[in-house]
Each structure stands twice: as structure tokens, then as C-alpha cells.
A = this chain, B = another copy of it.
Amino acid sequence: MIVEIVNTGTELMLGRVLNTHQQWLCARLADLGCVVSRQVAVADTAREIERAVRESLSRADVVIATGGLGPTSDDLTRAVLAEALGRELVEDAAVRAHIEEFFARRNRPPPPGTLVQARVPEGALVLPNPNGTAPGLIIEIAPNPMRVGGARGWLVMLPGPPRELQPMFDDSVAPWLLRTLPLRSGFVCRTFRLHGIGESSVQDRIAGPLEAMVAAGLDVGYCARPGRVDVRFRAEGESAGRLVDDAARVLDQHVGAFVFGTGEEELETVLVRRLTAAGCTVAIAESCTGGIIAHRLTNVPGASAVLLAGWVTYSNHAKQALLGVGADTLGRHGAVSDPVAREMAEGARRATRADYAMAVTGIAGPGGGTADKPVGTVFIAVAGPDETHVWKMFNPWDRATFKEVTANQAMDGLRRMLCGLPLEPRDVRQLVTPKPL
């Protein structure tokens, strides 16, 4: 099954936007057992779109084209490809109704020109777009004259905005692929997410125990990011399920404490779930992380059941006035210190009467470092009913990565406290953030 991707958009060719579709679609398709053989990006001119799609259709069973389905004069994909495939555009009543309702809800008449998105190539499968106006489209091309041998092909057209494309792919395209195409049978893929241990260390611990399974057909993949690593087990055929189950057991046995979730779960999702299950609440006192921990927690539906409040005490005065950190503590140890982190966490817990609190104080850079406390130095505190645990990390990354890495460390610390796991991994070497990639 040959799949190619064509991403259209002049903004891509000018480098104005980052093409996230390529990674996202390739990962989704790989998880379905289908490796994309080529991805192409072209400007949104009629000539480039048609040429790229024709070339891909000369090689592939399925071509996924993204972008250009909107209502403006730049949006050519639908009309150009319908014409190239010899299909008339006809109005789809359901799509038209959806577009009209979309604007009605916003108390606006549909802007002129927007209803062109209700015109779909004759015979196309229309994919609903609850997050926007332009529907997705799937056209079957049987026979496919662009391909030697004329084998049947499909052209899938998806809207450009990721928040429209991604749910549409998951809800409509993936099920369509599974029922329409001969994807590999018995294909099993499971991903485990680990924090606080490096890729090489994981490999050291599990490669030996997994050797026999790998010989029996198990595929093991590692995807490392700063401070984290995903371990992916894939297998196909009759014994696929059993192989992956056995591999999961090996992983749990050797590095189980580091596994925080599966699939694409984030630490914040896991935390909200565990706190909710325990009927517990949390407060967050941030400084150098600037609000990212609260922001990530509140991305999780149901966070309001567990998060009482967060602070971003960016100045020393705010730490004192809002969290009760002692002027004396600040004076003696400085803002970036164990005692200040401890007082921030305990102050947050007191002020809200939350069961747990996380606090972070550190130096995000690029400025602010000293010989004693270089950029990347951070103290993290987790305060609970029984104890407050504080530990120091060194996260020498650019500011954005520093924030994410530090937020992960704080959240994983709370996860470990909730699970009764040691907060500092036994191998202290793992505390130091692994080499950047």
C-alpha cells in the first residue's frame, strides 16, 4: 500500500508556517502499519498542485493532499483537482447547512464567497468538519489512468488548519482507510512514555530481555526528547498481540517506575486523572516556568475538579506578598534555592488548602546565571500531606525547552509522590538531563 502526501500552500514555500502535517500524518499512518513513501510541498498555484498530485497518483495507491480548501482566491485545490479528475462540482446540501449554521452561531451572515466550500466533486465521499467550514473529500479513481497498469487509486483532500485536519483524520480518514484498504493484518503497535531516564539507559536495561522477542518479530523503537523517551513496540501477524504484551511486561519489570503513560498521553493528563481518582486537589507556584504548568494542566478536560489555583510569582516581592516566602529566606539563600522552593510550595498549599502543591524556582536564561547558579539551575518542590520534597535539577536548554523540561520534572515528581514511588530515581545520573538531540 503506497501512500504519498502533498502539502499545498505558498506560506509553506515562503517558510512562514511550520509544516506539522507531515510528521503528524506520517506518524498516524505508521501506527496503522502504513509507511508514507514520499511527502511533497508545493505552492498553491493551480499548476503546481495539479502537477504534484498527478505525479503522486502515478506512483501511489492513496494520495493525501492538504490545504487549499478554503473560500478565498488562494484556495484552488478543490476546483483544480476536480477538473483534473474530470468531476463536476455540485453543491452538497448538508455541507451548505453546516456552513450556514457555523456563521449563524456567531451571529454573522456567511461572508460572500464562503459557500463555495459547499461545492464538492461529484461522487466524492464528504468528510464532516465540525471544527471549520470546508469538508474533507475522498475521490476514488478507478481505473487510475495516471498510473501504469491503471490500478485503482484514491485522492484524499483535507483542510489545512491542523485543528481541523487532525480530528478529521482520526474520526473519518483512519476508519475509512481501515475498512477500504488492505492494510497489514494483525498489526499491533503500542507506545509507552517514560520520564526521567535516558534512551541509552532504557536500551541497556531491556534490550537483552527483549532479544528473543525481537528475533520472533517484535520491532522496538525509541524516540528520545529532552528528558523523556517513548518506547514503541510493533509486531504483526498471529502472535503480534502476545509479543507486544510480553514486551510490555519486560518494560514494566525493568523500568516501570519511569513509565508515566501510554500512547500520546501527556504528564498533565495522567496527573489530572490520578488526582481526580484520589479525590485530591493541587495548587501550583511557578516562577521561571512562567505559567506553563498551570497552562498544561488546564488543557486537560476535568482539570477544574483538581486545580484550585496557580501563581506566577515572577518577582521576589510577589513571592513574599502572595505566597508568604520569608524576606529572610530570600535574603539568605536567594530566590533560586531549596528553602525558597519549599516555602513557595507550602505557601501555595496553605493559601488554597490544596492537598498537594508544586513549586518551581530557577533560571530560565538566557541571562541571569552566575558561576554558582548557571542558567538552567532549578529547584523543584512537591508538598503533600506527609512531607515536602525538594530537589535540584540542571536544565541547560533554550528558554522554551527549559520550561517544558522543568514542567515535566515537577509533574513527574507529583506523579511519583501520588504513586508512592521514590521521587529521586535511584540512578542519580538520570537526574541530569540527557544530551540534547
Contacts and interface: CB of A to CB of B under 8 A. Distances in A.
Given A301-B367, A312-B309, A314-B303, A22 B26 contact: no
Tell me how many chains of this kind the complex includes. 2
A401 B299 CA distance: 10
Given A26-B12, A312-B310, A435-B133, A290 B284 contact: no
A19 B14 contact: no
Contacts of A17: 23, 223
B131 A436 contact: yes
Contact of A298 (B19, B26, B291, B432): B291
B26 A436 contact: no
Contacts of A400: 163, 299
A308 B317 contact: yes
Interface string A125-150: 00000011100000000000000000
Contacts of A312: 284, 291, 294, 298, 307, 309-312
Interface in A100-143: 102-103, 105-108, 111-114, 131-133
A314 to B, nearest CB: 5
Contacts of A432: 106-108
Interface string A333-364: 00000000000000000011000000000001
A396 interface: yes
B19 A15 contact: no
Contact of A10 (B24, B191, B221): B221
Contacts of A232: 14, 16
> Which of A52, A105, A310 is most buried by chain B, counting CB atoms within 10 A of its CB?
A310
B18 A20 contact: yes
Contacts of A222: 72, 74
A164 interface: yes
Interface stretch (A37-45, A238-246, A415-423): A37-45
A29 B133 CA distance: 33
A45 to B, nearest CB: 10
Interface string A192-217: 00000011100000000000000000
A237 interface: no
Interface in A1-60: 10-20, 22-30, 35-43, 48, 52
Contacts of A318: 308-309, 352
Nearest to A27: B15
B303 A294 contact: no
A169 interface: no
A347 B387 CA distance: 33
Given A22-B19, A38-B41, A311 B311 contact: yes
A437 interface: yes
Name, among A41, A111, A318, A368, the residue most crowded by chain B CB atoms within 10 Å (CB to CB): A41
A23 B19 contact: yes
A424 interface: no
Contacts of A27: 14-16
A40 B39 contact: yes
Q: 7 nearest interchain CB pairs?
A: A15-B27, A290-B298, A15-B26, A291-B291, A291-B294, A310-B312, A309-B318
Given A13-B36, A15-B27, A22-B41, 19 more contacts: A14-B35, A15-B30, A16-B191, A18-B18, A18-B20, A39-B41, A108-B432, A111-B198, A290-B294, A291-B295, A299-B403, A301-B366, A304-B315, A308-B317, A309-B318, A310-B311, A310-B312, A311-B312, A317-B352
